[in-house]
Amino acid sequence: MDGDGSGLTVAGVVMEELRNLLEARNRHISKALSIAHGKPLHIVRGEMQYLHASDGTKYLDLVNNVSHVGHCNPHVVEAGQKQMAILNTNSRYVYGGITDYLSRLSSTLPESLTVGFLVNSGSEANELAVRLARSFTGNHDMAVIEGAYHGHTGMLIDLSPYKFRGPGGYGSPEAWVHVLPIPDTYRRPAIDYSGEAMEKMKQAGPLAGLLIESMLSCAGQVSLPPGYFSDVASAVRKQGGLLIADEVQVGFGRVGTHMWAFQESDVVPDIVVMGKPIGNGHPMAAVFTTPEIASSFGDMEFFSTFGGNPVSCAIGMAVMDVIEKEDLQIRARKLGFRFIDGLNDLKDSHEIIGDVRGRGLFIGIEMVVNRETMKPATNESSLLVEKMRDKGVLLSTDGPLNNVLKIKPPMVLSEWDVDETLSKLDETLSEIV
């Protein structure tokens, strides 16, 4: 008799366990939390760039920019375990871990950004950044980019066109939110992107700040046009506001050329927000700014119960260790060139690929039914994701039209992984068209 002695095969036992888990999920978890990759995957183990399912299937994970240095990276795991066995408390006590860690992060930033706040998520960090901007400037209104997503709190949903214009959203921005047109050089070519952004901010009047991703993620993996970051920085400052660089998705060397994507410009943001990869899956995030802006809270104390605790700091330090010792920024640049070159070769062979964009290991592939009309290949994109999953590669779609394949894997990806993905993409694209 196979399986558990009940007559079920091993496959049957696996399916029965999945059914039970899904029943429990439907009972206890809101349907607002969707399941990834089109069908339920019962993932039981992570191993660097791979995820393992309960049925033994091994998947290459190309979308998890949280596990920055690899799922269950041994150095990070060991650092967390070691510190957890010694001390974990809040940041009102004095301990070397927090100051050492903040100093190390600060050393990667422009010299003016020396004061850091440690919190528990990118949403919490972005909300804190907006609070700082309002406190320092005395202004309330904010500017954001069309298609942006900045977090799940009430304030940040209001600052996320990706959400308030999406399913279940209210469609229009609040009066204090000013949405700048997306600088999408593929769908909106030959536009004075800087000019229209500056005019929009001028019409808005006094601003607390512009909250902007250094590369646009949920908007479709869009790179900012040359000079745009500098131009909008000048414009928001003329309106009395601060430039807040949201590096939650693209920071920590992912773009390959620099540690932070904003460093590709000559602009120094007033505030930088870090999240997702910072703890390799451990819940932490950070906000860095100048001493002057940090002091604008005045007598109001800032405190995060878990932000900057010793275990989080040890894990954050371990992530930095791996990035530096394994030259992951350099790896991202080299593999990014390999990936993008290969994807452009596929574009030459498959009309459904309208655009390939990105840098390092932050890549978008826009799928279109017709290159002339740019009609989005939304259904085809979903089908491709399903077929690639069945071939052991996890992808996802994003963008306002849900037709952009996003690639933002753990940074420990190998050349073999890239080449195998390109081969399977070539095969799958031929199947769906």
pLDDT for 236 equals: 97
Give the count of beta carbons closer than 10 Å to the beta carbon of residue 266.
10
Give the chain's domains with CATH numbers: 34-63+327-432 (3.90.1150.10), 74-325 (3.40.640.10)
When comparing pLDDT for 300 and 133, which is higher?
133
Confidence class of residue 137 from pLDDT cuts 50, 70 and 90?
A: very high
pLDDT tens figures, 199-211: 999 999 899 999 9
pLDDT for 3 equals: 53
Distance CA 198, CA 117 (A): 30
Res 43 pLDDT > 90: no
* Mean pLDDT along residues 379-399: 95
* Mean pLDDT along residues 216-244: 95
pLDDT for 305 equals: 85
Res 309 pLDDT > 60: yes
pLDDT for 7 equals: 59
* Mean pLDDT along residues 350-360: 96
Res 1 pLDDT > 50: no
State which amino acid sits at residue 217: S
Q: What is the 3-state secondary structure (H, E, C) of the chain?
A: CCCCCCCCCHHHHHHHHHHHHHHHHHHHCCCCCCCCCCCCCCEEEEEECEEEECCCCEEEECCCCCCCCCECCHHHHHHHHHHHCCCCCCCCCCCHHHHHHHHHHHCCCCCCCCEEEEECCHHHHHHHHHHHHHHHHCCCCEEEECCCCCCCCHHHHHCCHHHHCCCCCCCCCCCCEEEECCCCCCCCCCCCHHHHHHHHHHHHCCCCEEEEECCECCCCCECCCCCHHHHHHHHHHHCCCEEEEECCCCCCCCCCCCCCHHHHCCCCCCEEEECHHHHCCCCCEEEEECHHHHHHHCCCCCCCCCCCCHHHHHHHHHHHHHHHHCCHHHHHHHHHHHHHHHHHHHHHHCCCEEEEEEECCEEEEEEEEECCCCEECHHHHHHHHHHHHHCCEECEEECCCCCEEEECCCCCCCHHHHHHHHHHHHHHHHHHC
**Average model confidence (pLDDT) across the chain:** 93
When comparing pLDDT for 119 and 303, which is higher?
119
Confidence class of residue 8 from pLDDT cuts 50, 70 and 90?
A: low
Give the count of beta carbons closer than 10 Å to the beta carbon of residue 61.
23
